[in-house]
Structure 1
Amino acid sequence: MIQPFLQKHCLKCHGPEKQKGKLRLDGPWPDLRAEADVLQWEKVRKQIAGGAMPPEEEPAPSADELAAVLDAIGGELGRAALLTRGGAGRRTLRRLTRNEYSHSLQDLLGLRFAEFEVKLGDRLPPDGLGRSFQNDADTLAIQPLHLWRFVQPAEVALDATIVTGPKPPVYRYALDLAGLRAVGDAPQKKTAPVIFHDGEARDPGSKTTLTARAVGVTKLTGQGIQLAPNYQRMVPTLAGRQGYPHLLLTLPIAVPEAGVLRVRVRASGSIPPGEGAPRLQLGMYFHGTNHVDIPFAALAVTNPAGAPADYVFEVPIHFVDAPWDLVRGHRQLHLKLDNAYVPLRDRVREPGVKSSVFPWPEPQLLLHAVEIETPWFPSWPPPAHRALLAVPDGVTGETEPARVVLQRFMDRAFRRPCTAEEVGQMVSLFERTRRDAADFATAIKTPLAAVLCSPHFLTLVEKKGATKEPLSPHELAARLAYFLWDTTPDDELLQLAGAGTLNENAVLAAQLERLLKSPRTEKFCRSFVSQWLGLGVVEHIQVPFCDVKNTMDSRWVAEQRDRAIKRSLADEPVRFFQHLLAQDLPLRTLIDSDFLVVNDRLAAFYGAPAAADSTFRAWSEAPANRRGGLLTMAGVIAAASEGNASAVVKRGNYVLSHLLDLDVGTPPANVMPLAQQAKANPGFAKLSVREQLQQHLSVATCAVCHNRIDPLGYFWDGYDLSGRPDFFGRPPGQPVNLSGRFPDRTTFSDFTDFRAKLADRRFTPGFLRKLLAYALGRRLDYSDDAVVKQLAEKTDSENLGLRGVIREVVFSEAFHTK
């Protein structure tokens, strides 16, 4: 059946005489054991099923011919999948991604710190770049480098959890900043002097003294000190005059080997109209030959000057990559507090304003008091230590307590009940280690680290039979937790799995609702949306969002502002998705909404009313050019454009691959980009982008793919490369033309028409394929087409909300089988 169809409809362009797109379909049928052959024939099947092939100028096959050939190709692919992976719709062994590893490690050990994000995954090699998501099982191989690199984060995490020996001495300092005193003028190069304000505090136990020095744009208020934003030092007319505004705290101690540096700051803010809240930033600082300036964390101070509040930072020493040897050598730890606010809006100096006057109202940070404790422990031993090493009363000696600890930990780490033999191996390792270890806590770290380096923790193991079969309850718990929480199953999921009830519909529905209501779904939203929409490029594209002349004539400030707006733009689709999930709004709202979800920086960028702070909130009165959900978000448009002058092609490619989930061909290596063609041919440069692309389509090898790609990119011609409203690529005086065509040859006249037709049963299948691939941790194959079709029909016919869509995915056969 396949060969006659190819002979009739395909070999004219993909046979011995011509191979469009370097695709040749004549010759014997391949055995499909090689992945490249499988991918090629899956692509051929999708092209035929989607109507892209044969091309529209050729006779179309009948419905019976299409059905027969699609079934025949599907059957061959199924036989190949049975030989290579035990059947279609199945995944290989999957390693945890870097983020999943980091989140799982923190949850297993109970590592949580105020205002400090632990990123153990950053210590591992990068994950492979799959065709869709980082959790694609086919790209997450384990190399020897991984095995070696997994050891160090595990040991660091265990050292941060388990304490040994007696409680170390604790240093405590409390400083009332209202008591700072001016110590006179200190010269700063050849510019005007800087007034320092000094103070000190003693530790009651050691009698050591902490010293404090307020420098730069500071002001004594009678209640503390006032810090202007730290960027003022980089404004050319002000840098030398007012110095670097910060509070420097010097602790006369070597950094502790364990524990947490805890800093409590009583602070308030002064926020001028139209500005954002000041940002209290804590960091480590050394000035001199070995200059060090490492920020630990920052947060917005939103309470007014008359109502100061406490802000707490907990900095775990083990997880901070800093030159600790330098600290130990000096026997001093320098901490810095400053105002890390970045301007929201353009700042242009008015003509005639004197250089000695800062002409813009700025958010001021008011610091009232500081308390420092290091190493800080909420109790001794710390709660995480006690929870990890707890044993029931009556369990005596050391071997049996070790067995209890290891059994409990291994059951959670391996996400299933462990056998007595598995636990016994780790107990034996403990006994061997204990001979040379100083105490029980030191010895138990070795088998615990071995557990965290075991393939049973590092990979999601789903034991398969010869054919598809249901997931076990523990496998279902793991799949569900890593889908929606990006981490290992919690105790409640594991208990239900152990009881054998998690597979029951009512129990699963209740657990799904619990997981979706948890704030931990933020990790799912961030991971899925960022990868689905390719938002990682936004912070790196070489398109300036801020002009130096409009940012205090300072390139440094413009760069800071540029980075800040790009971070917010990349975050906007994630927060929007979170909002839809929390409210269970219909799926089509993703591309057809009349509101945005913005923070103060995005409110300024879009021209919305001033937001109170950096918290994301729904803005219900969005202008007409921002009422398209993801389609009108500047970050999505910037990601689609990639800062490329040939943005129509990039944008069409983006819609095809990210929103419709259709295959995009690989361009020939010798194709010259449009920008280079314009430079080489002055006449070509005078054409509009649409006219240039029409010439591009005259080349047969280009037209094969670009007939599908280019017409999809025109609807975004109303926005520039940074997502601002601007008729991109339009010569002066030329009317804008936003019309184009979908791959199924349905035309659209403008953006509104495109959005309506995309929402009409075109967006849903592509989105569901992306969501299902992410949920399953594998690339979809032909066997998933029926599942996607069924999910799409129900989603569109019942106008399901986002939670309802996720529920249908979780209850689908594909999610429950292996």
Structure 2
Amino acid sequence: MRFSFLMLALFAGPALLSAKEPFETFLEKHCVRCHGPETVERDLRIDQLSRDFNAGIDGHLWAEIVERINSGEMPPPDEPLQPTADEIDAVVSQLDARIRAGRAARMAARPPVAHYRLSRREYQNTVYDLLGVRYDPTQPGELNADPLWHGFERIGSQLSLAPSHVERYYRASEIVLDRAFPEKPPETQKVRKTAAEIRYNGGERQQEYLDRFGIKRPLRALIFPGRELQALRPHWFGAGAGKSGLYRVRMQISGVRPPGGQTPHLRIGKWTGEGTNEGLIELDILAPEDEPEIIEFEVFLEMPTSLDFNVVVTDIISRDKGAHHRNILGGQDYIFTHTSETKLLNPTGPKLFDEEGNGIFSFVLLDWIEWEGPIESDAERATRTDVLPPDGATLEVVSNHLHGFAERAWRRPVTNEELHPYLEAYQAELAAGEDMSSAYQIALLGVLNSRNFTYLVEGETEPRQRLNDWELASRLSYFLWSSMPDQELFDAARAGNLTGDGLTNQVDRMLANPKIERFVDDFPRQWLQLHRLGMFPPDGNLYPKYDVWLEASMREEVVHYFREVFDNNLSIDTFITSDWTMANPRLCEFYGLPMPKTSGMQKVTLQPEDHRGGLLTMGAILGLTSDGTRHRPVHRGVWVSEAIFGKTPPPPPANVNPIEPNPPDSPKATIRQKIEAHAQNASCAACHRNIDPLGLAFDQFDAIGQWRTHERVEKGLGGDPLVDPSGMMPDGRKFADANQFKQLLLEDRDRFLKAIVEHLCSYGLRRVLTVDDQEDIDAIVAEAKQKKYQLKDIVRAVALSDLMRKR
């Protein structure tokens, strides 16, 4: 839940005329002097807040006023006239009673039905669980991107359905059904290409050259930075043979890494025509030239497609050698088998290795690659069992099959009247001459395009306050699995067994199911607003160590870290500080950590001198709160306020001037110094006092998260100034640097816990929380505290909470 005096006060309605309430005396005595007609601190005028608690126009503001009075923040400690404990108890009780009464009135007046559209990722998961079909809605021309609310892509009020969306949903359901029930099932094929075939068009001429020298080693494909090499072509499977689906890939590969240089990284993806390719597969190559490794993985491909290999490192050949150098290496006359034979085979070729055989640049060596697919598991095929009626089935049998499919697709019991239009469409197609299978798929198409499929529908014509078991099953499954309920959860809903121990057993089962990985992937990405990473690509001249693989690795670090905390049910304190992180070779290089012996994300021990640990000092978090040229302490402070404390500060006034670059004829000044000067403005001081310390604590990290002691200032007189990460929290507690700041956050773990619970509830309930939810939130927080702040237990408490059962 996101409370803010300033932002919400802008929309506060005028006070309603009524008899003077008992709490007014307290407000007039202690509050109106600073928040009234004469002085308006933080843009809040308490005298203008609506007293109509049933309408709840200013409910958030009243709730925060109660919170601040109760905590002793209002009136401020430096005010000469302080209320007594009895006065505080009385006013808090009076306001709380009115807020509760208003909450009850609003709950009774809620609309009878609520609709929450599935996000793209949820749609993708649902069609897979429903029909065993893989479909990528993020491809160009497919489903529209989901609008975001503070990083969350599943908030119902944001996910509208415009007319332009309808055609895309119809096309998506056609694709899904075509893949589920193709006229001719695709055959799984295996294609193997050697380096000689990929690099040398078979390599017959080059092999003759090797034979003359008596070289027995095979031809190998040398893939270097700036060079694209074929990884997959549709015609490899034969004309029209390549079908969309899951493919298994195997390849034998190794790398050449310069001493002290960057680990070669291989990307397989689509060529964009802009000098890069869109990464589909990302691999750090650690195997040495004489000990190549066979790597195997699976990937979903939308066919037809063409893919290329591309080595991604910062020591790119083109920076030093140019196109001529690359053209020679890429030509048919440059032959590669082994580092030791390069000079013999290419006496006039570019120098790629020093006298000791060490690489000058990072390279990847490919021996062969094998593609197999499309592949489908027995479990995927089993999901379609009994969806299609048998040939020659009667209308009654067809109706029964359609009824079973609709109940699973719509996630609730379905009446015969609801299915009547779809059966009519089926009969009309038969009458028009279509075969039974095609006619039936028209009915399935209608079911998949119904609002009952694309929306989670909660409620009915008669208003009620709680979900029924079917609705609860869907809410739980889309919370924990980002998809529809499975058969066991359906059966529990049908039996009315989603209460008490029955509900507990189902939630525990869902938490242990492999589909919980979807929650682990989705929630941290949305909670921490990782979509902002790379929104402002860092300037390559200022940050030459930054590349797309580093950015992808940063994003993966956050998700893998969350997974480690969740899987091991660690305390949420781990999100604030830890002596470990999750890193791959690229991140280890960037952070200055010991290089691992294997590729992929793995747990890495941290030392104090590494200046890492927890989420706040990860490259992704520090990068998403920066722009392409400099760090942004205020943005970092706002992020901490939102993610860690669940409070969204108000936006800056429209007339605030941006921070200008340092003038060439002035002493070099840090961004901190400029912010402090800016915050002297009386209209800005109150907000900056609460925001700035939260971001300035991380001033020893630059725009891409590199550790530093001095701030680089491009223009100005003198040397680059020292950074100052010290500060003071709004409540007066001081810190010297990020480590001490983290310790203060640990002292505020109850506030952090409440914020995490609120984020989880927004994610699970698919809506913005309100003051009406506070009592339920507090109950979840109390239970989570008893469970020692452990993450999986917190998620479990949310899933089992009374709030999850309310409409």
Q: TM-score range by the shorter chain?
A: 0.7 to 0.9
What CA distance in whole angstroms lies between the structure 1 residues aligned with 2:24 and 2:182? 70
Matched, 1:455 2:451: yes
Instruction: Give the residue type in structure 2 aligned to 1:817.
Output: K
Matched, 1:713 2:712: no
Which residue does 1:341 correspond to in 2? Answer: 311
Which residue does 1:185 correspond to in 2? Answer: none
Which residue does 1:25 correspond to in 2? Answer: 46
What CA distance in whole angstroms lies between the structure 2 residues aligned with 1:43 and 1:568? 39
Q: Contact conserved, 1:12 with 1:18, CA < 8 A, in 2? A: yes
What CA distance in whole angstroms lies between the structure 2 residues aligned with 1:198 and 1:409? 51
Which residue does 2:524 correspond to in 1? Answer: 529
Q: Contact conserved, 2:107 with 2:465, CA < 8 A, in 1? A: no
Matched, 1:748 2:735: yes
Which residue does 2:755 correspond to in 1? Answer: 766
Structure 1 residues 464 and 31: alpha-carbon distance in aligned structure 2, compared to 1, 3 A threshold: farther
* Alignment deviations for residues 298-357 of structure 1 (CA, whole Å, 9 cap, x no partner): 666778876764847676556x6x7xxxxxxxxxxxx5553x33237799989xx99921
Q: Is the deviation greater in 581-590 or in 454-463?
A: 454-463
Which residue does 2:534 correspond to in 1? Answer: 539
* Alignment deviations for residues 400-439 of structure 1 (CA, whole Å, 9 cap, x no partner): 3432332222111111122222233322222223323532
* Alignment deviations for residues 54-102 of structure 1 (CA, whole Å, 9 cap, x no partner): 4554345444444544555555555555565546999943222222122
| Secondary structure in structure 1 of the residue aligned to 2:251 | strand
Q: How does 1:431-442 map to 2 (within 5 A)?
A: 431-436=427-432, 438-442=434-438
Instruction: Give the residue type in structure 2 aligned to 1:704.
Output: A
Q: How does 1:502-521 map to 2 (within 5 A)?
A: 502-505=498-501, 507-521=502-516
Structure 1 residues 705 and 92: alpha-carbon distance in aligned structure 2, compared to 1, 3 A threshold: farther
Matched, 1:481 2:500: no
What CA distance in whole angstroms lies between the structure 2 residues aligned with 1:143 and 1:32? 35
Q: How does 1:412-811 map to 2 (within 5 A)?
A: 412-436=408-432, 438-463=434-459, 469-505=465-501, 507-544=502-539, 562-643=547-628, 645=630, 647-675=632-660, 688-727=670-709, 729=711, 737-760=724-747, 761=749, 762-796=751-785, 798-811=787-800
Q: Is the deviation greater in 411-420 or in 76-85?
A: 76-85
Which residue does 1:204 correspond to in 2? Answer: none
Q: How does 1:141-180 map to 2 (within 5 A)?
A: 141-164=160-183, 177=194
What CA distance in whole angstroms lies between the structure 1 residues aligned with 2:485 and 2:143? 22
* Alignment deviations for residues 668-719 of structure 1 (CA, whole Å, 9 cap, x no partner): 111112336x65x977x75555544443333221122112112222321221
* Alignment deviations for residues 24-51 of structure 1 (CA, whole Å, 9 cap, x no partner): 3334736478887455555655555665
Instruction: Give the residue type in structure 1 aligned to 2:255.
Output: I
Q: CA deviation at 1:646?
A: 6.8
Which residue does 1:360 correspond to in 2? Answer: 360
What CA distance in whole angstroms lies between the structure 1 residues aligned with 2:408 and 2:300? 27
What CA distance in whole angstroms lies between the structure 1 residues aligned with 2:602 and 2:275? 39
Structure 1 residues 662 and 247: alpha-carbon distance in aligned structure 2, compared to 1, 3 A threshold: closer
Root-mean-square deviation over aligned CA pairs: 4.5
Structure 1 residues 785 and 83: alpha-carbon distance in aligned structure 2, compared to 1, 3 A threshold: closer
Matched, 1:197 2:197: no
| Secondary structure in structure 2 of the residue aligned to 1:268 | strand
Instruction: Give the residue type in structure 2 aligned to 1:15.
Output: G
* Alignment deviations for residues 579-624 of structure 1 (CA, whole Å, 9 cap, x no partner): 1111111221111211011112111111222234542111123444
Structure 1 residues 365 and 648: alpha-carbon distance in aligned structure 2, compared to 1, 3 A threshold: same
Number of matched pairs? 736
What CA distance in whole angstroms lies between the structure 2 residues aligned with 1:752 and 1:308? 41
What CA distance in whole angstroms lies between the structure 2 residues aligned with 1:630 and 1:298? 23
Structure 1 residues 78 and 127: alpha-carbon distance in aligned structure 2, compared to 1, 3 A threshold: farther
What CA distance in whole angstroms lies between the structure 2 residues aligned with 1:302 and 1:404? 56
* Alignment deviations for residues 148-205 of structure 1 (CA, whole Å, 9 cap, x no partner): 43222112211221123x568x796755638759xxxxxxxxxxxxx833279xxxxx
Structure 1 residues 87 and 757: alpha-carbon distance in aligned structure 2, compared to 1, 3 A threshold: farther
Q: CA deviation at 1:578?
A: 0.4
Which residue does 2:329 correspond to in 1? Answer: none
* Alignment deviations for residues 522-558 of structure 1 (CA, whole Å, 9 cap, x no partner): 322232212222221112224247868x6xxxxxxx7
What CA distance in whole angstroms lies between the structure 1 residues aligned with 2:644 and 2:440? 50
Q: Is the deviation greater in 611-620 or in 86-95?
A: 86-95
Q: Contact conserved, 2:728 with 2:734, CA < 8 A, in 1? A: yes
| Secondary structure in structure 1 of the residue aligned to 2:755 | helix
Matched, 1:409 2:405: yes
Q: Contact conserved, 2:711 with 2:723, CA < 8 A, in 1? A: no
Structure 1 residues 154 and 708: alpha-carbon distance in aligned structure 2, compared to 1, 3 A threshold: same
Normalising by structure 2, report the TM-score.
Answer: 0.78
Q: How does 1:1-150 map to 2 (within 5 A)?
A: 1-27=22-48, 29=50, 31=52, 37-38=58-59, 41=62, 53-58=74-79, 59-74=81-96, 76-77=98-99, 86=108, 92-112=114-134, 119=138, 123-131=142-150, 133-150=152-169
Q: Contact conserved, 2:285 with 2:364, CA < 8 A, in 1? A: no
Structure 1 residues 284 and 270: alpha-carbon distance in aligned structure 2, compared to 1, 3 A threshold: same
Instruction: Give the residue type in structure 2 aligned to 1:198.
Output: G
What CA distance in whole angstroms lies between the structure 2 residues aligned with 1:436 and 1:222? 68
Q: Contact conserved, 1:471 with 1:817, CA < 8 A, in 2? A: yes
What CA distance in whole angstroms lies between the structure 2 residues aligned with 1:174 and 1:254? 10
Matched, 1:817 2:806: yes
What CA distance in whole angstroms lies between the structure 2 residues aligned with 1:221 and 1:514? 60
What CA distance in whole angstroms lies between the structure 1 residues aligned with 2:131 and 2:57? 42
What CA distance in whole angstroms lies between the structure 2 residues aligned with 1:74 and 1:440? 64
Instruction: Give the residue type in structure 2 aligned to 1:356.
Output: P
Which residue does 1:268 correspond to in 2? Answer: 252
What CA distance in whole angstroms lies between the structure 2 residues aligned with 1:355 and 1:259? 41
Q: Contact conserved, 1:575 with 1:616, CA < 8 A, in 2? A: yes
What CA distance in whole angstroms lies between the structure 1 residues aligned with 2:552 and 2:250? 28
| Secondary structure in structure 2 of the residue aligned to 1:723 | coil
| Secondary structure in structure 2 of the residue aligned to 1:267 | strand
Q: Is the deviation greater in 19-28 or in 80-89?
A: 80-89
Q: CA deviation at 1:394?
A: 8.7
Structure 1 residues 422 and 668: alpha-carbon distance in aligned structure 2, compared to 1, 3 A threshold: same
% identical equivalent positions:
27
1:256 pairs with one of 240, 250, 256: 240
Q: Contact conserved, 1:178 with 1:223, CA < 8 A, in 2? A: no
Q: CA deviation at 1:4?
A: 3.3
What CA distance in whole angstroms lies between the structure 1 residues aligned with 2:156 and 2:96? 22
Q: Contact conserved, 1:98 with 1:126, CA < 8 A, in 2? A: yes
Structure 1 residues 516 and 225: alpha-carbon distance in aligned structure 2, compared to 1, 3 A threshold: farther
Structure 1 residues 719 and 294: alpha-carbon distance in aligned structure 2, compared to 1, 3 A threshold: closer
Q: Is the deviation greater in 146-155 or in 703-712?
A: 146-155
| Secondary structure in structure 2 of the residue aligned to 1:94 | strand
Which residue does 2:18 correspond to in 1? Answer: none
Q: CA deviation at 1:123?
A: 2.4
